[in-house]
Amino acid sequence: MIRDATAQREKLVWETKSRSDFVSEVDKASEQRIAEIVRRRCPHAIVLGEELSPGAISSEGIVVIADPLDGTTNFLHGYPQYAVSIGCGVSGVLCAGVVHDVVRNLVYRASAGGGAWVGEQRLAVSGLTQPKRSLVGTGFPFKNEGLLDAYLRQFAAVMGASSGIRRAGSAALDLADLAAGRFDAFWELSLAPWDIAAGVVLVREAGGRVTRLDGSEDVLGQGAIVAGNPALHRWLIDLLRST
């Protein structure tokens, strides 16, 4: 559905949720489609989505956590980096995730104990241990300008200690890239559960770590995350804490 809408992108109506944060009819239609499929196949599940059903994550039962179009601003501008991200938790614990790279028609999937995959290829985080050679993904705190000064200090520190930083505008695809070994580490200061639920499962099943800045493994809330292969997750979290 999203791919079909791409040809009509210039006719879409943008709604402004907050400064530099937009939503379109495509986001809403995608979430509605996801909710309909989940309720038909698993009627007792709770669907938590960014556009139509945001709310607190239940600690009981099955919860499907969906971002119907991660990278909406990219989509609206025709920048080819956007995805559908769907994670699943049972009793508050993430157990499965899928990230669909719409433009490249790639489906990343992972389940607890089942590994992380794209097609028939099993994913694994990079084995790089030298920060100076690392490529680090990030996201800007564009929804919360109060975090900008702290983020810029972190950005400068990471830039000086790594080989480069990339920001493409879709946290779900950033985490998929980390799981596939294309990034060595990633951090962002303000993310919601639907931004990361599927990606967290991907990274962890690919052998990586995803935590809060304080090292907590409980990431299903609003806030900062730090991710990476085991060695560079430790390096990055220590660097960020020291800035």
CATH code, 185? 3.40.190.80
Residue whose tokens read 């303000």: 190
Query: What distance in Å separates the CA atoms of residue 59 and residue 161, rounded to the nearest whole number?
Result: 39
Confidence of residue 23 (pLDDT cuts 50, 70, 90): low
**What is the Cα 124 distance to its own chain's centre?**
17
The predicted-structure confidence for 134-175, as pLDDT tens digits, reads as follows 999 999 998 888 999 999 999 999 999 999 999 999 999 999
* Containing structural domain, residue 165: 131-242
Which of 77, 93, 122 terminates a domain? The answer is 122
Pairing of strands 164-166, 135-138: parallel
| 172 and 110 both lie in a single domain | no
What does the pLDDT average to over 45-72?
84
| 113 and 209 both lie in a single domain | no
Query: What distance in Å separates the CA atoms of residue 179 and residue 228, rounded to the nearest whole number?
Result: 8
What does the pLDDT average to over 194-216?
97
What does the pLDDT average to over 200-218?
97
What is the number of structural domains in the chain?
A: 2
| 51 and 30 both lie in a single domain | yes
| 80 and 139 both lie in a single domain | no
CATH code, 28? 3.30.540.10
| 116 and 138 both lie in a single domain | no
Residue whose tokens read 């559908």: 84
What pLDDT was estimated at residue 5? 84
Which of 80, 105, 122 terminates a domain? The answer is 122
Which of 71, 93, 122 terminates a domain? The answer is 122
| 118 and 136 both lie in a single domain | no
Single-letter residue type at 9: R
Residue whose tokens read 């039962």: 61
DSSP state of 139: -
What pLDDT was estimated at residue 20? 47
| 151 and 97 both lie in a single domain | no
Q: Is the separation of the CB atoms in 206 and 200 below 8 Å?
A: no
